[in-house]
Each structure stands twice: as C-alpha cells, then as structure tokens.
Amino acid sequence: MTEKSNLNQKIEKLDAEVEWFYSDDFKLEEAVKRYREAIEMAKEIENDLDNLKNEIEILAEDFSK
C-alpha cells in the first residue's frame, strides 16, 4: 500500500502545483520554474503508473495459469 499512497501523494502535490497557476499568488517570473517542476512530477507519476500496470499484468497472468 505504500506505493499507492506515495502515488496519491504525488498526484495531490501535482494538483496543488497546477492550482497555483490559477491562484492569486501566480507570478509570471516563477511560472517557468513551477511548470518545469510540474512536468517532472507528471513524468514520475506516469512512470509509477506504468510500473503498477506491469505489476497488475504479471499478477493477472499468474492467475490465468
């Protein structure tokens, strides 16, 4: 369950970063830095999801035997 909660935390953090762009705290000077950080977080999340997908496929294959 740690992997799932870690993924949920990453998704929540990314959501918070995206919300910043719509907030009153938005500053153009900071936007590029935050955008790059958000892209990196999104890549990490995508990688985690790929790993989970692979694990599920392996489990499904084991059950089909």
Along the chain (65 residues), what's the average pLDDT of each consecutive run of 10 residues?
A: 80 96 95 96 96 90 74
The pLDDT value given to residue 59:
87
Q: Give φ, ψ of 26 to 5 degrees.
A: -55, 130
The pLDDT value given to residue 37:
95
The pLDDT value given to residue 5:
77
- Helix (H, G, I), strand (E, B), or coil: what is residue 7? helix
The pLDDT value given to residue 65:
66
Report yes or no: 13 and 41 within 8 Å, Cβ to Cβ.
yes
The pLDDT value given to residue 30:
96
The pLDDT value given to residue 41:
96
